[in-house]
A and B are shown apart, each in its own frame.
Chain A
């Protein structure tokens, strides 16, 4: 490989702009689906995990045990193995195992228990007395969940979502390599397999910037919502 100047690298990258943009969209799609699944399914699961603990509204040792065990089980799988294990399910749901939508299936599968744990931990920080006060005022379980738990934990939940997003940006790169596309995949294909170090460096820098932005936005929003 010839020695590369900075200008040559820039020209090289500029020529790849459409591909880079497409990779960004693929990553965005994988993340979007994964995070939506995490919020819609992992969120309620986390709330249930919390409420089934001893001393809580729906205290039930068996339910809590089964939920906790299941969450741990899914979380024990190294992500790449989870992906491979889920190939039949992915094929069933999406009809293919290639592309960002297919990659979103195992990503969602991993994101759900991950976020459930984060939600559970966050809810634990709400003082028991606040929930008890709502019970004493005659609030229903649903009112307690929405008006008390989620509202009191909102800042922590945003922080949890920030952590999840950044972790899954990383996971999406793994998913990308096995046919999902995205920024990580681009970095591997060009930067590693074709020895185009400039592409590798550019993609890593791009990810660094994205992570910084996500964290910054997450911190800002969490701080704004926190009135404690």
Chain B
């Protein structure tokens, strides 16, 4: 009886969808569209929106896995804003972002412009591959190897500096130097990716504008400043936005090379979040840190886009 009642209704839906009218065709197209984007939407819900909602909820609880979560209202946030280690971690992260992103963008752009000018195709391929190779290496492996290289007493970096008469530098144990070591490692590992973005941007610059600039007498620095950089500005915006977001989530290199030390000198926000959640089993507090970091990333990205109206040239 039930199936007999459902059958006509199902038939009506199928007829409505498969109707051979303009409306029906539109419905079929829409349905097909939804079917195509369904995997992305489901992935977004399950792996991004879902965990974000869970993190938001968890930030109001005290939970250590073993015992049921206990609602603590805003306690995690009040602890966060009075915890000096959180401010240290944010300061370190911002310093690392500034140091790393500035170096990344300048070096990657310079390399992209140089490689683009190479007339020899094999040489161009060689440099593209060489610069990109470190991106393919495991962050952990890179950090361990460079950790040995940066060792004050046994590392090869200080050995060669010593040959130049430069005294030993405590790359990983001096609070004033350690961020530079971490930053240099990160720049080396991520340079290839930013380089490829810039190379793509440089390769697609309109040749007629560049040639016109040349005819008008714009060469060298003048051509770079007044023609190339404005034309590249959308690429620069994209590269800086993605690099800043990535670097605000700094983790691998300092975690493996220094474990955040000495003291908290190289501890980043994501390290602090990880250590609180998974080390100290303070999942609520870790979630609160994650949420504040998310807000900061959102704010920084928003500011970048707002400021981009003044300097990014779309045409």
Q: Do A and B bind each other?
A: no
Interface residues of A (CB under 8 A from B): none
Interface residues of B (CB under 8 A from A): none
